[in-house]
């Protein structure tokens, strides 16, 4: 049972080709070979199923860990912002523009930002038009299912592997 599903599939196709070459006749020997290959495939497929389930479980655990880590990250960022605000407020109140210690320097850096106070007064040459469009796949699918023919679109039926 050390054969891979690929090898089992190849051997199964070989047996099918032998049946076709024999004019569709299945000998007892061919039937026995078919039965063995089917059993091997079933066993191997079950093993694949267990591996897939385990990996799906791992992915779920990883997703939960990502959520947990993002919450920790958000909390740390909020703490950093609060600490910076307290430090900034205190330095401003005591009129201390810079603090220098042997290991770090804390100071203010000048920067500028633009704030729009009234959009209606901004000259048109500074206004940029953004136009976006997207295809509503849900609406197209609904229309095709209702019998409408839409050129450039078709519904494709898929076979999705399900492991229960």
Average the pLDDT over 53-69 and give the result.
94
pLDDT digits (tens, 9 = 90+) for 28-48: 887 777 776 777 777 777 767
Q: In angstroms, what CA-CA distances link 15 with 23, 35, 44, 163?
A: 13, 11, 19, 28
- Its pTM stands at 0.56
Average the pLDDT over 70-74 and give the result.
98
- State which H helix or E strand residue 105 sits in: strand 105-107
* pLDDT reported for residue 67: 98
CB atoms within 10 A of CB 54: 10
pLDDT digits (tens, 9 = 90+) for 76-93: 999 999 999 999 999 999
Torsion sign, CA atoms 79, 80, 83, 88: negative
Q: Which of 17-21, 116-120, 136-140 has the lowest mean pLDDT?
A: 17-21
């Amino acid at each position: 049972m050390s054969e891979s599903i690929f090898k089992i599939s190849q051997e199964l196709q070989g047996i099918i080709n032998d049946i076709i070459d024999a004019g569709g006749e299945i000998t007892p020997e061919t039937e026995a070979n078919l039965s063995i290959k089917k059993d091997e495939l079933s066993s191997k497929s079950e093993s694949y199923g267990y591996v897939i389930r385990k990996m799906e479980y791992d992915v779920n655990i990883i997703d939960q860990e990502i959520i947990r880590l993002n919450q920790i990250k958000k909390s740390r960022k909020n703490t950093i912002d609060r600490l910076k605000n307290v430090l900034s407020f205190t330095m401003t109140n005591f009129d201390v523009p810079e603090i220098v210690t042997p290991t770090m320097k804390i100071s203010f850096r000048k920067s500028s930002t633009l704030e729009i106070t009234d959009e209606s007064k901004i000259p048109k040459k500074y206004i940029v038009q953004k136009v976006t469009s997207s295809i509503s796949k849900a609406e197209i699918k609904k229309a095709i299912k209702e019998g409408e023919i839409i050129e450039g679109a078709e519904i494709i039926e898929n076979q999705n592997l399900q492991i229960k």
